[in-house]
Amino acid sequence: MKRFSAISVVREALRGNSAWPRQWRSPEPKPRYDVVIVGGGGHGLATAFYLADRYGVRNVAVLEKGWIGGGNTGRNTTIIRSNYLFDESARMYEHALKLWEGLSRQLNYNVMYSARGVLMLAHNIHDVQSFKRHVHANRLNGIDNEWLSPQECKEYCPPLNVGGEMRYPILGGALQRRGGTARHDAVAWGYARAADALGVDIIENCEVTGIRRAVSGGVEGLETTRGFIRAGKVGVVAAGNTSVVMNMAGVRLPLESFPLQALVSEPVKPAFPCVVMSNTIHAYISQSDKGEMVIGAGTDAYTSYSQRGALHIANHTLDAICELAPMFRRLRMLRNWGGVVDVTPDRSPIVAKTSVPGLYLNCGWGTGGFKATPGSGDLFAFTIAKDEAHPINAPFTIERFREGVMIDEAAAAAVAH
Amino acid sequence: MLLIKCPFCGPRPEIEFAYGGQAHIERPKDPMSLDDEAWAEYLYIRNNTRGVHSERWRHINGCARFFNVRRDTISDEILVTYKVGEAPDAVPEKDRPTKGGAVR
Ligand SMILES: Cc1cc2nc3c(=O)[nH]c(=O)nc-3n(C[C@H](O)[C@H](O)[C@H](O)COP(=O)(O)OP(=O)(O)OC[C@H]3O[C@@H](n4cnc5c(N)ncnc54)[C@H](O)[C@@H]3O)c2cc1C
Ligand SMILES: [Zn+2]
């Protein structure tokens, strides 16, 4: 791996940028790996990187049916925050946020993590009470989150319409200043490049079609479109397609897959300083470094693998955006797309061992797992390497749905988050 | 937006309906006899089918009745809609949606 530095960037620029090597190899699959990761999204690639970097497991492959980052990692609106209500979630997302803060340096790749602040707006009494409860709970957990009055919201984010005529007026907001955004593709590419440098094989265009189990019941290897690959352990990180992959091992899950959409506007000059979220009226907005307004919409009502959502869902979000920030009323939308998100009944993820020996599962991140990418990768790598959960992910089991020990962020947020 | 044929009212736009999740999940006949495993299966475990999925819809802003739909979750094409208690295969060909998800 050729390291990026001020000197190397200048030197290559003078040479016409013709001598940069490939960022990661494109190897043929080996017959056997110690660990095979199914799914080359951010979470899968991060898992492979931490396996090799922190836990000493270097004979690792990541199998991706398309191209890396082509799933939800490359389709999301990149909101990063850790101000979740419950202790378990707070620990989980804060672990990730701490890793985000040093990630570009660690990977020697600019993931463009930008702590510009995430402002969550309250529009009714219930929101106000619930967000203040979040603020207090977060503080007890040592996580920054503060309550802003409508006027303070306006000062923090001038385009907001406070005090004007609005169906759902802004009654205040919860601000996490360390929250922000990162460049989604760079996260996938940065982890891929760093993992590859440690010997991890990243195998694209390789779809897993079967999970072969030994007579003992344990995992033996994977049937793929590029042949059978033997594996000591298998970690499934397939987001919206998790039910399909786990079905191959006969494991049924508390998951449903829904389309979730995003859209971007034409690029404009810097106009929007932070991330604004409104769960109540379904609007999520920030501005990319290219200048596009990046807008997240809601999920469709029905389960689907189609990777596109209905127009009325996007429309609904644009209505809300135009009320929140009237100056965007004449902004034109450039593109929209959808991803397939895997949702659990309590809206918290599963990062755990399964009933099948040697088979590990990382899923259920639903509409909000990009922010967790580094932490999820680290904890999942720990779980696979040591065959036991790390204390942070120990509560995020499959069994919690049988035991009734939910981590009910669904009830805490009332909607997708 | 889907065009969904309510078996009672005919084809209507999706926004008149509410999605009701996977169909044909039987409510436990004797709830007291269920163990935790069986409760988890009933309440939370879902097929999450990639392909032809049987699901419930409710015509909430119309006749308010529940009915069943078979839909391909890859293309979102609706293959057939049928009343609760009815066998989907018994729906006559002429009452099925045409290819492409449109409803006759
Ligand atoms: C529109 C949208 C907006 C979002 N906004 C936010 C946000 O603002 N903040 C936030 O935190 N989260 C957000 N999310 C959620 C976030 O994108 C996901 O939780 C996260 O990216 C999941 O990462 P992953 O690596 O697990 O999944 P993915 O990136 O989807 O990776 C899974 C990979 O598995 C591969 N795969 C599947 N089946 C197989 C197979 N059989 N064989 C081989 N490979 C297979 C897929 O091709 C895919 O590349 C959003 C999601 C969407 C769709
Ligand atoms: Zn009807």
Domain's final residue, options A319, A342, A365 = A342
Cα(A62)–Cα(A39) distance, integer angstroms: 7
Predicted confidence band at B98 (pLDDT cuts at 50, 70, 90)?
low
> What pLDDT, in 10s, does the model give residues A255-301?
999 999 999 999 999 999 999 999 998 899 999 999 999 999 999 99
- What ligand is nearest to the CA atom of residue A96? 1
pLDDT band at B2 (very low <50, low <70, confident <90, very high): very high
Q: Which residues of chain B neighbour A244 with C-beta distances below 8 Å?
A: 48, 50
Q: Over 50: is that where the pLDDT of B101 sits?
A: no
pLDDT confidence band for A2 (50 / 70 / 90): confident
Among A290, A317, A342, which residue terminates a domain?
A342
- CA A154 to CA A176: how far, in whole Å? 15
Count of structural domains, chain A:
2
Is A386 in the same domain as A366?
A: yes
Q: Going by CA atoms, what residue is nearest to atom 33 of ligand 1? A: A39
A165 shares its domain with A219: no
Q: Residue A189 in 3-state DSSP? A: helix
Give pLDDT tens digits for B63-83: 999 999 999 999 999 999 999
Asked whether residue A331 falls in the same domain as residue A350, the answer is: no
- The token duo for B71 is 């839909």
Closest CA of chain A from B37, distance in Å? 6
The alpha-carbon gap from A344 to the nearest alpha carbon of chain B, in Å, equals: 8
**What residues contact residue A284 under an 8 Å CB cut-off, 6+ apart?**
A77, A79, A275, A276, A277, A278, A295, A296, A297, A317
Does A306 touch chain B if contact means CB atoms closer than 8 Å? Answer: yes
The angle subtended at Cα B76 by Cα B40 and Cα A341, nearest 5°, is: 50
How far apart, in whole angstroms, are the C-alpha atoms of residue A179 and residue A406? 25
Are A126 and A189 part of one and the same domain?
no
Domain boundaries, chain B: 3-26+40-95
Structure confidence at residue A410 (pLDDT)? 84
Average pLDDT for A334-345: 97
| A114-123 residue pLDDT tens | 999 999 999 9
Q: Is residue A106 part of a domain?
A: no
Residue A248 has pLDDT above 50, yes or no: yes
Q: How many angstroms separate the alpha carbon of residue B6 from the centre of ligand 2?
A: 5
Q: Range of A134's domain?
A: 115-180+256-342
| Calpha distance A143→A373 (Å, rounded) | 18
User: Does a structural domain hold residue A102?
Assistant: no
**Of the candidate ranges A131-135, A278-282, A350-354, A397-401, the one whose mean pLDDT is the lowest:** A278-282
Residues in chain A with CB shorter than 8 Å from the CB of B71 are 302
In this structure, is residue A16 part of a structural domain? no
Rounded to whole angstroms, how far apart are CA atoms B77 and B82? Answer: 15
* Single pTM value for the model: 0.96
Fold for domain B3-26+40-95? Folate-binding fold (3.30.2270)
Structure tokens at B49: 């089918």
Q: What is the pLDDT averaged over residues A57-68?
A: 98
Residues 6+ apart with CB under 8 A from A17: none
ipTM over 0.90: yes
Between CA A99 and CA A182 the distance in angstroms is 12
Scan for tokens 């690792």, then name that residue: A60
> In whole angstroms, what is the distance from residue A387 CA to residue A343 CA?
25
pLDDT tens, position by position, A11-35: 999 999 998 999 999 999 999 999 9
Tokens of A133: 């409860």
Whether B103 shows a pLDDT value over 70: the answer reads no
SS3 content of chain A, % helix, strand, coil (to 5): 30, 25, 45
Owner of token pair 């069943």? B68
Nearest chain B residue to A241 by CA: give it. B50
Closest-approaching ligand to the CA atom of A205: 1
Q: How would residue B102 be classed by pLDDT, with cut points 50, 70 and 90?
A: very low
Do residues A160 and A57 share a domain? Answer: no
Q: Is A290 helix (H, G, I), strand (E, B) or coil?
A: coil
In the chain, the amino acid numbered B96 is: R
* Nearest of A325, A383, A373, A329 to residue A352 by alpha carbon: A383
Question: What φ, ψ does residue B89 adopt, rounded to 5°?
Answer: -70, -15
d(CA A229, CA A27): 14
pLDDT at A414: 54
pLDDT at A131 over 70: yes
- Distance between CA A387 and CA A219 in Å, rounded? 14
Calculate how far, in angstroms, residue B84's C-alpha sits from the geometric centre of ligand 2.
13
Percent of chain A with pLDDT over 70: 99
Same domain, A278 and A244: no
- Asked whether the predicted pLDDT for residue B17 surpasses 80, the reply is yes
Give the list of residues 6+ apart from residue A63 with CB closer than 8 angstroms, or none.
A29, A36, A37, A38, A39, A40, A203, A206, A207, A208, A222, A224, A229
What is the average per-residue pLDDT within A316-342? 96
Are A211 and A334 contained in the same domain? no
- The answer to whether residue A81 scores a pLDDT higher than 80 is yes
Give the per-residue pLDDT at A412: 73
Give, for ligand 1, the residue of A72, A94, A225 to mutate: max count of ligand atoms closer than 8 Å to Cβ: A72
Nearest to A176 by CA among A210, A148, A199: A148
Q: For the segment B42-60, what is each residue's pLDDT rounded down to a tens digit?
A: 999 999 999 999 999 999 9
CB contact under 8 A, B47 and A302: no
What CA–CA distances, in Å, run from A94 to A86, A143, A177, A348, A411?
12, 8, 13, 14, 20
Buried b (16+ CB within 10 A) or exposed e, A301-333: bbbbbbbebbeebbebbbebbbbbbeebeebee
Does residue A327 share a domain with residue A311? yes
Task: Find the CATH number of the domain harbouring A169.
Answer: 3.30.9.10
Nearest C-alpha neighbor of A74 from the set A105, A44, A37: A44
A169 and A239 fall within a common domain: no
Are A236 and A124 part of one and the same domain? no
CA distance A45 to A318: 33
Which of A244, A304, A319 to mutate to probe the B interface, most B CBs <10 Å? A304
Ligand in closest contact with the CA of A43:
1
CATH number of domain containing A71:
3.50.50.60
CB contacts < 8 A, A to B, total: 66
A105 in a structural domain = no
| Residue A241 located in a structural domain | yes
Are A139 and A66 found together in one domain?
A: no
A241 touches chain B (CB under 8 A): yes
Which range among A65-74, A407-416, B15-24, B93-102 shows the weakest confidence by mean pLDDT? Answer: B93-102
Q: What torsion, rounded to 10 degrees, do the Cα atoms B50, B77, B41, A382 define?
A: 30
Q: Shortest CB distance from A401 goes to which of B21, B44, B71?
A: B44
Average pLDDT, chain A: 96
Q: What does the pLDDT read at residue A323? A: 94
Q: Which atom of ligand 1 is nearest to the CA of A363?
A: 26
Q: Which of chain B's residues have a Cβ under 8 Å away from the Cβ of A310?
A: 1-2, 14
- A149-203 pLDDT, tens per residue? 999 999 999 999 998 788 999 999 999 999 999 999 999 999 999 999 999 999 9
Q: Is the minimum CB–CB distance between B35 and chain A shorter than 8 Å?
A: no
Is residue B99's pLDDT more than 60?
no
Q: Do A193 and A327 belong together in one domain?
A: no
Distance B58 CA to ligand 2 centre (A): 8
